[in-house]
Amino acid sequence: MGGPRSLPPRHVLARRPRRRIVSALRRQPIVFWALALVAAATTYLTVEGSLSATAEGAEAYGELVEAVVAVADLDPGSTIGADDVTVALVPGSMHPPDAITEIPIGRDVRHPIVTGEVVAERRLAPTGAVGIAALLEPGQRGVTLPLAIHQAPLEPGQRVDVFSTTDPLHDGGRLSTTVVVESVRVLAVDESTVTVAVAADDTANVVAAMTTSIITVAVAG
């Protein structure tokens, strides 16, 4: 008696079921072509669906256009350098009407710009404006006020109210406090002073209050 017969290699065994299926389909061409048509139709519908979704996305967000985009967060008062922005393709719906068309190297930032945001003219200070002037809106003035010893911590960008308290020696013995300006924006802070942006029409009142009264700055919510 001969020894036990060895099994065929695994890859040969794996091909046998497929060969049987192919042979069976060849003996029944109608079934073969029906399955082929189903596979082709499924592929077509899948591709068509993807193309339709892409077209709908393009219609919803607009065609891609070139824009100057921030590559890092830019804080008010910072000066834009060559490494802060780049030119990239963005959907038309993300392209504001006042988007700048040239790299704004040397321009100062007036309002915060976040990473990936298209840089718009309204976010920047006018060309040539630097320092505190770059942070002022049209019609505003920057006024520096003294800070009290026990002053709440302040940061640029916060809103504050400015109060004036009269000296009783200069006001008939009466002690009174009034609001000079409300919800003005903090531009800069150091150990003893704070600079705020006030409307041009309020500037004289703020300056007068500093010369005749005690000034208190309160953080506004």
Q: Is 215 exposed, middle or buried (0-12, 13-18, 19+ CB in 10 A)?
A: middle
pLDDT digits (tens, 9 = 90+) for 7-37: 445 554 445 555 665 565 556 666 556 666 6
pTM beyond cutoff 0.85: no
> What pLDDT shows up at residue 37?
67
- CATH of range 62-126; options 3.90.1210.10, 3.40.640.10, 1.10.10.410, 3.40.50.700: 3.90.1210.10
Task: Please state, in angstroms and rounded to a whole number, the distance separating the CA atoms of residues 70 and 199.
Answer: 30
State the average pLDDT for the chain. 81
> What pLDDT shows up at residue 30?
65
* 39 CB neighbour count, 10 Å cutoff: 10
Q: What's the average model confidence in pLDDT over 68-75?
A: 93
User: Does the pLDDT of residue 197 top 90, yes or no?
Assistant: yes
CB 217 within 8 A of CB 188: no
Q: Amino acid letter at 67?
A: A
CB 157 within 8 A of CB 204: no
The CA R_g of the chain, rounded to the nearest whole Å, is 36
Q: Is pLDDT larger for residue 21 or for residue 64?
A: 64
pLDDT band at 51 (very low <50, low <70, confident <90, very high): very low
Provide the residue ranges of all domains of the chain, joining segments of one domain with +: 10-60, 62-126, 136-219
> What pLDDT shows up at residue 35?
64
Task: Please state, in angstroms and rounded to a whole number, the distance separating the CA atoms of residues 67 and 118.
Answer: 6
Q: Is pLDDT larger for residue 34 or for residue 112?
A: 112
Strand 177-189 to 159-166 pairing: antiparallel
